[in-house]
Amino acid sequence: MSGADADERRQRAAGRGEHEAPPAPEPLPLPVVDSHTHLDLVSDAGGGDPAAQLAAAAAVGVDRVVQVGVDLPSSRWASQLAAEHPQVLATVGVHPNEAPRLGDGLDEALREVERLAAAPRVRGVGETGLDTFRTGPEGAAAQEASFRGHIAIAKRFGKALIIHDREAHAEVLRVLDDEGAPDRVVMHCFSGDAEFADECLRRGFVLSFAGTVTFRNARSLREAARRCPPDRLLVETDAPYLTPHPYRGRRNGPYLIPVTVRGLAEARGVELAPLCRAISDTGEWVFGGWGGA
């Protein structure tokens, strides 16, 4: 996620008009998954209802998405959406910048996350993690307590852990090493350099690259992407944010995944179709099949 709190995220999303939507890209040769999106916020930004967004994505080869929860309302919404649409799976969690705002209610919120995580089409816990960009030292303890709670829930249910890490690389690894990471960990919107990528890959984590990898000033991200084995690579939109170049600053949506995938193929020096197949296979390994409950 962008790192803003829930109200700010929705206000920012609502400020993006329909005229800002980039055109549909050329379809991919093989289908892929958008491993991290927020269809609720895309709708708030004028991007149409979830069914329309899913249809637009499928038309260009993005046939599966993961709808990510960032607070209790969005987590409940994600779980319900996944129950209604076979091409959607859900994650549930409390964003690290939400955790300090909950105060004494954090434990209760984690209990609700645990309840929601039991649903069969909820396949991930988070986004959770640490963020020192938006939240100062006064919120560090609550962020870490929430992060540790999410790790325990993911391990209890055998589901993927979705990590938000903003300017907290060493601290995130410290907590994961201390608690013991789940079998499947996704570094959402990977933002580190090649050395940090190596540390994550050595631990068996999956790196998910957003539209930021296509930005002209993102050389370190592209180097990290080149080091990532195909079976540890995902792509995401984090829509409606992080729209890939050349549409940076406009509203994002799952239908724009092909732009990022093509950018990754160019950065890695590989053919497009095998990369699509690898991304799809990694998504199925991390989240399980989309077809059944």
Provide mean pLDDT across the span 255-266: 98
Distance from the Cα of residue 246 to its chain's centroid: 21
Q: What is the pLDDT of residue 134?
A: 85
Closest CA to 50 of 239, 230, 208, 234: 239
Q: What is the pLDDT of residue 36?
A: 98
Q: Kindly report, residue by residue over 203-230, the tens digit of the pLDDT.
A: 999 999 999 999 999 999 999 999 999 9
How is residue 289 annotated by DSSP?
-
Lowest mean pLDDT among 4-18, 141-155, 253-267: 4-18
Annotated binding site for a divalent metal cation: 36, 38, 127, 164, 188, 238
The whole-angstrom separation of Cα 124 and Cα 185 is 9
Q: Is 153 helix (H, G, I), strand (E, B) or coil?
A: helix
The whole-angstrom separation of Cα 189 and Cα 29 is 24
Closest CA to 225 of 176, 262, 182, 250: 262
Identity at 201, one-letter amino acid code: L
Model-level pTM?
0.93
| Residue pair 159/186 in contact by the 8 Å Cβ criterion | no
Is it the case that residue 157 has pLDDT exceeding 60?
A: yes
Q: Is 43 helix (H, G, I), strand (E, B) or coil?
A: helix
Cα angle for residues 32, 35, 39 (degrees, 5° grid): 105
The whole-angstrom separation of Cα 239 and Cα 233 is 18
Q: What is the pLDDT of residue 9?
A: 54
Annotated binding site: 36, 38, 127, 164, 188, 238
Domain 29-287 falls under CATH 3.30.70.980:
no
Distance from the Cα of residue 41 to its chain's centroid: 14
Q: Which residue has the tokens 């987590």?
A: 75
Provide mean pLDDT across the span 59-82: 98
Is it the case that residue 133 has pLDDT exceeding 80?
A: yes
Is it the case that residue 125 has pLDDT exceeding 90?
A: yes
Mean pLDDT, the chain, whole residue set: 94
Q: Which two tokens stand for residue 256?
A: 């724009």
The whole-angstrom separation of Cα 224 and Cα 202 is 13
Number of H-type helices and E-type strands within the chain: 12, 8
Closest CA to 290 of 162, 127, 123: 123
In the structure, what pLDDT confidence band is assigned to residue 12 with cuts at 50, 70 and 90?
A: low
| Residue pair 254/246 in contact by the 8 Å Cβ criterion | no
Q: Kindly report, residue by residue over 165-206, the tens digit of the pLDDT.
A: 999 999 999 999 999 999 999 999 999 999 999 999 999 999
